[in-house]
């Protein structure tokens, strides 16, 4: 697992064996960030990465100059790994937080420019993520929610839906704050 571009480009993430994660493939991650390169200014963005796992997406945002990135996961080993890796990479604007993503969204006090969510594909309540983000107004004007999910999930009827991209088994739905 590698960081694709930016100041940390080429660095490898080496998570410990046994983390309960399904990392976004390098191909899907590279495709996602190619799309985002044309849509956002990374250096003016505050990012929330839900279900962060290894922090691969969070580190990619940091590498590309995001102002600050909050990485949320319930697993203590995941947040410890991210914290240790941030220290190793000399990153001081990545904040791993051990929390349930749904609880975090219900209690968040901050707005974000980008929220990325990569929940377990078999999680029953994936559509609720979008509902919570928009109900609690967690995106800044022009902000974007990106949810990675299986092909069985369909956000196309959500009022904020913008587009869906498919990369093999990986699907990204984009929802925009107006």
Give the domain 44-176 fold: Rossmann fold (3.40.50)
H-assigned helices in the chain = 26-37, 56-63, 76-88, 101-107, 126-135
pLDDT at 29: 87
Higher pLDDT, 140 or 121: 140
The predicted structure's pLDDT at residue 92: 96
Q: Helix count (H) and strand count (E) of the chain?
A: 5, 7
Q: Which two tokens stand for residue 98?
A: 């051990």
Q: What six digits make up the tokens of 130? A: 């979008």
Q: Where are the domains of the chain?
A: 44-176
CB atoms < 10 A from the CB of 140, how many?
15
Selection from 96, 92, 67, 73 nearest residue 19 by Cα = 73
Residue 109 tokens read as: 């006090």
pLDDT score, position 168: 84
Confidence class for position 177, pLDDT limits 50, 70, 90: confident
pTM of the model: 0.95
CA gyration radius for the chain? Answer: 15
Average pLDDT, the chain: 93
Helices 26-37 and 56-63 pack at an angle, to 10 degrees, of 40
What are the tens digits of pLDDT across the range 104-121?
999 999 999 999 999 998
Mean pLDDT of 77-88: 96
Query: Collapsing DSSP states into helix, strand and coil, what is residue 172?
Result: strand
Beta bridge partners of 170: 167
Distance CA 113, CA 177 (A): 9
């Amino acid at each position: 697992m590698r960081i694709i571009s930016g100041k940390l480009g080429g660095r490898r993430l080496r998570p410990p064996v046994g983390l309960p994660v399904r990392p976004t493939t390098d191909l899907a991650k590279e495709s996602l960030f190619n799309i985002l390169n044309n849509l956002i200014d990374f250096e003016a963005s505050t990012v929330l990465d839900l279900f962060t796992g290894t922090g691969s997406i969070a580190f990619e945002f940091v590498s590309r100059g995001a102002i600050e990135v909050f990485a949320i996961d319930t697993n203590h080993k995941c947040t410890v790994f991210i914290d240790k890796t941030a220290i190793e990479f000399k990153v001081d604007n990545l904040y791993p937080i051990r929390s349930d993503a749904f609880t975090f969204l219900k209690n968040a006090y901050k707005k974000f420019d980008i929220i990325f969510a990569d929940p377990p594909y078999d999680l029953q309540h994936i559509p609720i993520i979008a509902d919570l983000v928009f109900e609690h107004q967690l995106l800044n004007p022009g902000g974007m929610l990106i949810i990675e999910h299986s092909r069985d999930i369909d956000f196309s009827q959500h009022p904020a839906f913008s587009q869906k991209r498919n990369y093999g088994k990986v699907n990204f739905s984009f929802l925009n704050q107006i």
